[in-house]
A and B are shown apart, each in its own frame.
Chain A
Amino acid sequence: MHYDLALPSGLMAALVPEIIVVSGAMLLLLWAVWRPESDVHQRNVAIGAAGVTLLAAAAVVYYMVSDASSGPGVIAVDRFRWASDLLFLLATLIAIALSSDFSKREGITTAESHVLILLATSGMMLLAAARDLIILFLGIELMSISVYVLAGLYRRSARASEAALKYFLLGAFSTGFLLYGIALVYGAAGSTNFTDIGRVVSERGFGALPMLQIGLALLVVGFAFKIGAAPFHMWTPDVYEGAPTPYTAYMAAGVKAAAFAAFIRVWLEAFPGTIEFGPPYKVLWWLAVATMVIGNVVALAQKNVKRLLAYSSIAHAGYILVGVLVATPLGASAFLFYLVAYTLATMGAFAVVIALEEVGERNQNVQDYAGLWRVRPWLAIAMAVFMLALLGFPIAGGMGFFAKWYILQAALDRSQFYLSVYLVLTSVVSAGYYLSVVMVMFMRPRAEGAPLPSRVPRATGIVIAATAVVLLVFGIFPSPVLRFARDNTITIAPPSAAASPRAGALVPAANSH
């Protein structure tokens, strides 16, 4: 199918998955406030939200199978978009399941939380589709504003409110940078469309456009805040620790993946050629190295599991940045493979944290997991799988090993020798904290008088089992996922071939808004 994005009907047809999610969210919102708050109602809305997610996933699969393509326009219709969408919808489904169980335990009866998750998902899907800075901005804000609310949803908790405040202030601050970057890029290139910007960059040269350089720098700062790359990571641990755990999981997997998907598209389509040489490349190089080093080293000192996972997610942002930096088809497919493995392992690890928490967000320290093997052997095994997957351990770590392997292979393929060395060394450091969690669970005795962990709620249990099994199975047979990643990479068309009918570098782009 070919979509002509210049026509409103073509644009609408290419946005059907997003429209399904948004209109489903609106209908669910009506239903959610229609009846008095209760736990049963909350659970019903969660089932409805899961249904909307599956419907959107079916639409995405349809587009993927029908090999949809499009002319130039404000959104991209390519396989990378569909693959990212599937990833976000998977994270959404898991987050809805976890948040329903969490709400039940903590006595939160607001059914709107599931609607907010769906709205954030629609923002993520827009981000994966964005081929115009306006869409990019709208997607980021739709996602971020919904997630600010989710972080502060648990109003009885002072820590959740504090996390929401910090997330909101720093998120809005970073939005300012992102937006100023967008304004300057628009000013330098005369268009907000990635393809047009890419053509201006390749025609006039990145070095000849100082305003574009400043704009790109500000854009990178904005994105670095969103993905939690050092030195812009300071909000991550506080927010991840304070926010309700299901939404922490959603932030760590979904929000991060969406920001990365948008970033890689901006990087490859709007700034072609800056990748090979030049200061932007070096800045990103240092960003990746600093993120890997700081994330892994500081994680060693953490006692709270959620905080530990927060620093681990910072470290993983560094690894994923390596995949972005390499910027070859191999790098982009390694990037996608990594995101799949990372989403599964992170979501699973946070699901175990939810299963072991007690009412009022207690039991979140690594020490509380001592002797887990004796009382809840399956949970301990699942947590060990997630930790080893995040570490990148072969066999027992499942897909995690291959994810890191492909990133490393892609980096070495471009003779990124030092980057690979940093990646391997920091991975070795990360064993210090991942393995210590495993050791505490399996080798320490259970603390005297420690109560038995309460029963694992059903949906949480299913999530834990499914993510662990999928990680292990695709760790032994990685080729289907690898083929999926390879088939759906972003194609880096040479700028001349991607030229749009809007000829002329500085002619005002007739925006179809």
Chain B
Amino acid sequence: MTKEQCVSTDPLRRKNVWDLTLPEIEYLYSHLHMNSYVYAALKICGESHPPFGKKLKVKQDIVPDFMFDQLSTLTALSEYLADEEPNNVRVHCTYLAYRLMLSISKAAFNDLHSIIRILALTAFIPVLAEKYANFPLWRHRAIREPHPDHLRCYREINDSIDIDSYIRLPFFRDTISEEERIEPTEALFAFMPRAISAIITKIENEGNSEQISTAFMQVEKAMRTYELQHNLGCIGETPLNVQHSGQLRYRNTLYLYGGNHLERLGLYRNAFEWYVRDIYTLHLPTYSGFYLTDFKTCERLIRAFYIHPNERDSTLFHDLLDHMMFQAFLNSAEYAEKIVDYVDTNPEVDITKNRLSRKNGRPMLYSGEAMREIFLISLLYMYYVEKVDFEYMDYSSLFEIQ
């Protein structure tokens, strides 16, 4: 759907992402803004004709032994999707998905492509389990109404942002008071979502593309200046120009969405530069950490890979992407081990929630994105790297459908 065909975006303001038609999804993704994970989830359900509601049997000979049992158990849920008590199915699905993630700890690098394919073909189960239980895939409407907090944050993006002041601007429930002391890294973690969500809201509401590009660059400049001032990494100091791997998280936010914007404008060379900034090094996997951050880093590489024309260059680039994917999978398995241990040893914990509360320690991410992103990143890999269109997902290659 082109902009001309989609005469007004007003109807989209009222729609939840699950209510969008396929042309509307394409329009938003290609012209305004939609998270790639959300896009993949919507497309897999809308275009690939997943075999839900049917009894599925996993074909043993094409699944690595170490994940066969866990995959079979998760797959068995497909039969009950949309029929059984939806929340029950979702809760089961979450736990079984972590068991499957845990099994990846036994994988070797050779298994990577099999695992990606298997997870991509299984993705419809967690996505639909959450859909039927009305668990949010995206926490806001397809197009956000500009909120005064967003508008203010956007207005304050200029050529010389003072990050310490910027993060004190009112921002929904996360407003930081003037008195509260914030460490420099925390300040960057507070700054980036404010600035980027303000910009994205502007994109969704059809702001001026040039001004939006400038805003992204001003955010980058502010971030780099602040990092330099606080010894948080400067160009050439370390392979990734960071002091610690956690910094990749806020940089991913900037460079992924900035890259998406440039790509939509057809500025592929610039988009590539943004997608790979700081992470275009084979040393990247040694800077992996929390798996959701790693997946976001992989997403940047996947998008960069997709728009890169040089074939020979891609050999090592592909290698970089695969090693980062593999490392992210191993890190997700490590996290899954903690989750499964905790759930198994604490029968009283409420596993219907997004986060598992703990008596001693911070809550752990559990349902929703923490569980489903391993499936969604696999879908993105299949689509952008393996070039398998969502409509051509071959479920019968993995399942006997009964």
Whether chain B is bound by chain A comes out as: no
Binding site for B on A (CB under 8 A): none
Binding site for A on B (CB under 8 A): none
